[in-house]
Amino acid sequence: MRLLHTMLRVGDLEKSLAFYTDILGMNLLRKNDYPEGKFTLAFVGYGSEEDTAVLELTHNWETQDYTHGNAFGHIAIGVDDVYDACNKIKAAGGKVVREAGPMQHSTTILAFVEDPDGYKIELLMNNRSR
The strand ranges marked E within the chain are 5-9, 27-34, 39-45, 54-60, 75-79, 95-102, 109-114, 120-125
| Marked catalytic residue, from 49, 62, 99, 122 | 122
What does the alpha-carbon distance between residue 102 and residue 123 come to, in Å, rounded to a whole number?
12
Nearest residue to 40 (alpha-carbon basis) of 11, 68, 60: 60
12, with CB counted inside 10 A (0-12, 13-18, 19+), is middle
Query: Known catalytic residue: 122?
Result: yes
DSSP state of 94: -
Residue 57 φ/ψ, nearest 5 degrees: -95, 115
The residues that are catalytic are 122
